[in-house]
């Protein structure tokens, strides 16, 4: 179990920590030599995700206040009271707080072991619950150059404009990530450092990794590191930490379907596949749709039509028929607006038509409003009639996506 200490009495803290360590049942992840305020306490809990908290009874009023905060905001977190002596009046107050485990000097390994076994059993039956978001959005390009990073950046900014919606944007494209350039970021730390330190992330390290830009915390991809491999465990620790601190998390993927990208998509609430109304992009999108279907991820895929324009030879209905999925979000082709934003190192103008489209999409995501389906009237498979047979229409079952 992961353990947290709150104990102004350093001698008591060291004695209890030594005894707990001897049991090999708890790893102490953080120690405080003071009773924290509510904000600091919950920041520590979110950052370290402890299962057990060892708290000194030195100040019973302060300890009681912290227990009430934890009961409200982190139910299931097990609290163990620690004291120099087992005084009946103190023990009675501790029981009134709802604390059932009490350790006092002198300590024996057997008594501490028995206490930790009871704590672990309770932690398994009633795990600690810390507020954690489910709004994890993975942005997957159908092919390079379809504008996925532009979509991810502007949607992340639009989401963060909503009240009480802190947002995080991660550039996970290790071979050609461009978000750092787009925002003119000069932070030397990158997603590589975040992954390497994912097991020890805390509230002091995190601010060094992120850069705040237009209301969004951003971690860029850094220098090109195509040989670096992010492990699945690193992804899980990184995302677990982020989920506890942000309401929305946008992840810009490379489209190369690396193992860590698949791990992220398995964790995501939505996989926003970005396509453009061009035959090569749509062909590769269809291939990826079929691949994601084989991984049982099709229900999470949302088609994002980027650079849409009225004169396109490929209609929305044709895109939907080819991909066998409805278009969920459509963003117009505004080359000049995107170019101006890129030059200035910011998102597109919120008052522009494209900016309003990003704003509407963000509102839809947060409100969980279903997108209107568009009727498909024309067949588009004929556009691929000149391709080799294995890439042509084939006998694909029609899927109804809710």
147 occurs within a structural domain: yes
Do 319 and 191 share a structural domain?
yes
C-alpha 240 chain-centroid distance: 7
What are the b/e assignments for 88-104, b being 16+ CB within 10 Å?
A: eebbebbeebebebbbb
Do 189 and 43 share a structural domain?
no
Find, among 330, 328, 257, 279, the residue nearest to 299 by Cα: 328
pLDDT for 263? 92
399 occurs within a structural domain: no
Domain boundary pick from 95, 125, 155: 125
In DSSP notation, 264-329 reads HHHH-SEEEEEE-SSHHHHHHHHHHHHHHHHTT-GGGEEEEEEEE-TT-SS-HHHHHHHHTS-EEE
379: Cβ–Cβ under 8 A, 6 or more apart, which residues?
A: 318, 321
Burial of 311 (0-12, 13-18, 19+ CB in 10 A): exposed
Give the Å distances, CA to CA, from 77 to 4, 26, 176, 346. Answer: 10, 14, 42, 41
pLDDT for 386? 39
Do 258 and 196 share a structural domain?
yes
Instruction: Categorize the per-residue pLDDT at 377 as very low, low, confident or very high, splitting at 50, 70 and 90.
Output: very low
Strands 211-213 and 216-219: antiparallel
pLDDT for 228? 76
Structural domain that includes position 34: 2-125
Domain of 43, CATH number, reads 3.40.50.2300
Per-residue pLDDT of 46-62, as tens digits, reads 777 889 999 999 999 99
Do 178 and 77 share a structural domain?
no
- Average pLDDT for 149-156: 98
The answer to whether 49 and 240 have CB atoms below 8 angstroms apart is yes
Do 360 and 256 share a structural domain?
yes
Dihedral of alpha carbons 140, 299, 297, 235, sign: positive
> Percentage of the chain with pLDDT > 70?
91
Find, among 220, 192, 189, 230, the residue nearest to 207 by Cα: 189
Do 144 and 51 share a structural domain?
no
400 occurs within a structural domain: no
Per-residue pLDDT of 240-295, as tens digits, reads 899 888 999 999 999 999 999 999 999 899 999 999 999 999 999 999 999 999 99
**Domains of the chain: total:** 2
178 occurs within a structural domain: yes
Find, among 281, 65, 346, 89, the residue nearest to 79 by Cα: 65
C-alpha 99 chain-centroid distance: 33
Find, among 74, 82, 80, the residue nearest to 8 by Cα: 82
Q: How far apart are CA 355 and CA 349, in angstroms?
A: 6
Do 287 and 146 share a structural domain?
yes
Do 82 and 162 share a structural domain?
no
131 occurs within a structural domain: no
Domain of 321, CATH number, reads 3.40.50.300
87: Cβ–Cβ under 8 A, 6 or more apart, which residues?
A: none
Dihedral of alpha carbons 340, 342, 343, 349, sign: positive
Domain boundary pick from 125, 153, 178: 125
Q: Is 145 left (phi over 0), alpha (psi -120 to 50) or beta?
A: left
Per-residue pLDDT of 104-141, as tens digits, reads 999 988 899 999 999 999 888 887 767 778 899 999 99
């Amino acid at each position: 179990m992961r353990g947290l200490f709150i104990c102004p009495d350093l001698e008591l803290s060291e004695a209890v920590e030594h005894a707990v360590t001897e049991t090999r049942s708890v790893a102490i992840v953080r120690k405080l030599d003071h009773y924290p305020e509510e904000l600091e306490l919950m920041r520590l809990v979110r950052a370290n995700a402890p299962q057990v908290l060892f708290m000194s009874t030195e100040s019973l009023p302060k300890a009681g206040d912290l227990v009430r905060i934890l009961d409200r905001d982190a139910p299931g977190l097990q609290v163990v009271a620690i004291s120099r002596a087992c005084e009946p009046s103190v023990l009675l107050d501790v029981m009134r707080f709802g604390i059932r485990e009490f350790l006092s000097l002198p300590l024996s390994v057997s008594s501490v072991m028995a206490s930790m076994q009871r704590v672990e059993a309770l932690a398994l039956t009633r795990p600690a619950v810390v507020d954690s978001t489910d709004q994890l959005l993975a942005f997957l390009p159908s092919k390079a150059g379809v504008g996925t990073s532009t979509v991810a950046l502007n949607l992340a900014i639009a989401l963060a404009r909503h009240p009480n919606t802190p947002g995080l944007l991660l550039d996970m494209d290790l071979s050609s990530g461009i978000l750092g350039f787009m925002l003119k970021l000069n932070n030397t730390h990158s997603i590589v450092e975040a992954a390497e330190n994912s097991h020890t992330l805390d509230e002091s390290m995190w601010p060094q990794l992120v850069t705040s830009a237009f209301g969004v915390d951003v971690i860029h991809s850094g220098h090109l590191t195509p040989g670096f491999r992010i492990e699945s465990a690193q992804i899980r620790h990184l995302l677990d930490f982020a989920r506890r601190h942000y309401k929305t998390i946008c992840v810009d993927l490379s489209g190369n379907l690396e193992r860590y990208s698949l791990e992220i998509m398995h964790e995501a609430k939505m996989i926003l596949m970005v396509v453009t109304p061009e035959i090569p992009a749509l062909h590769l999108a269809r291939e990826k749709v079929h691949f994601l279907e084989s991984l049982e991820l099709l229900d999470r895929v949302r088609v994002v039509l980027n650079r849409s324009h009225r004169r396109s030879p490929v209609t929305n209905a044709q895109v939907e028929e080819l991909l066998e999925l409805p278009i969920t979000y459509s963003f117009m082709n505004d080359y000049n607006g995107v170019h101006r934003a890129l030059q200035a190192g910011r998102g597109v103008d919120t008052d522009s038509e494209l900016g309003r489209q990003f704003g509407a999409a963000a509102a839809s995501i947060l409100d969980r409003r279903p997108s209107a389906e568009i009727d498909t009237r024309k067949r588009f498979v004929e556009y691929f009639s000149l391709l080799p047979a294995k890439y042509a229409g084939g006998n694909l079952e029609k899927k109804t996506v809710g």
